Amino acid sequence: EPEVTQTPSHQVTQMGQEVILRCVPISNHLYFYWYRQILGQKVEFLVSFYNNEISEKSEIFDDQFSVERPDGSNFTLKIRSTKLEDSAMYFCASSLRGTEQYFGPGTRLTVT
Amino acid sequence: DAKTTQPNSMESNEEEPVHLPCNHSTISGTDYIHWYRQLPSQGPEYVIHGLTSNVNNRMASLAIAEDRKSSTLILHRATLRDAAVYYCILRVLNQAGTALIFGKGTTLSVSS
């Protein structure tokens, strides 16, 4: 069964550094998303992406964040200058028709 | 977004049916009812969704009240692997690709 994959599984970075989290969505899907979950808290929406542009973003997704689909298979989330409070589990999701979303296993980001 | 209310936690025994309730008294006519679950240390997983009629799939059944102000996710025979946080989420029909807004959900414990 096709699945969403994410790399790396765990990323440790120093405050102020740039990080890129990578996702490979399910191959024929058209809608892509990033969510995050701070330890012990709710899953929070960051951004959705469709037709090569952002379709919706949350207040969390400020100028420090960007997304890109550099080729036909990858979908990336960049955090320009990480802060301690960016430490969280980051989940990528994809959807064929924008209805049910399929999530990856997540990347644990630790900012020190 | 229309709000949902779920119990914080529920307990079940293995191989017994589980009925997970969700109240959504302010649901609008275009809101679909979605259920996702999150197993420990994993990303959210799509379970089922519906609009008005009851729905069945290989994972679960969704029973929707006639006035649509409540719904129940039914796991027909709980297994230990069904121990997870279950989220009931409303999404507008025509906003394909928009965010899933996760609440705290119901934490289901399953005992052998």
**Mean pLDDT across A2-18:** 97
Burial (CB count <10 Å: 0-12, 13-18, 19+), residue A76? middle
- What contacts 24+ positions apart, CB below 8 Å, involve B65-69? B68/B24, B68/B27, B68/B33, B69/B23, B69/B24, B69/B25, B69/B27
What distance in Å separates residue A19's CA from the closest CA in chain B?
A: 20
Chain A with chain B: Cβ pairs closer than 8 A? 58
Residues of A in contact with B34 (CB under 8 A): 100
Strand-pairing partners, residue B20, are B73
Residues of A in contact with B60 (CB under 8 A): none
Asked if residues B78 and B14 have their Cβ atoms less than 8 Å apart, the reply is yes
Distance of CA B9 to the CA centre of its chain: 13
Structure tokens at B59: 């994972």
How confident is the model over A50-79, as pLDDT tens digits?
Answer: 989 999 999 999 999 999 998 878 999 999
Residue B95's pLDDT is 63
Instruction: Round to whole Å and give the CA distance between A100 and A110.
Output: 29
Q: Does B55 touch chain A (CB under 8 A)?
A: no
**Partner B, chain A 50-89, Cβ-Cβ below 8 Å:** 50, 55-56, 58
Residues of A in contact with B107 (CB under 8 A): none
Strand-pairing partners, residue B90, are B33
Residues of B in contact with A51 (CB under 8 A): none
How confident is the model over B67-93, as pLDDT tens digits?
Answer: 999 999 999 999 999 999 999 999 886
How confident is the model over A14-49, as pLDDT tens digits?
Answer: 999 999 999 999 999 999 999 999 999 999 999 999
**Mean pLDDT across B41-64:** 95
Please give the single-letter amino acid code of residue A96.
Answer: L
Structure tokens at A85: 């409070």
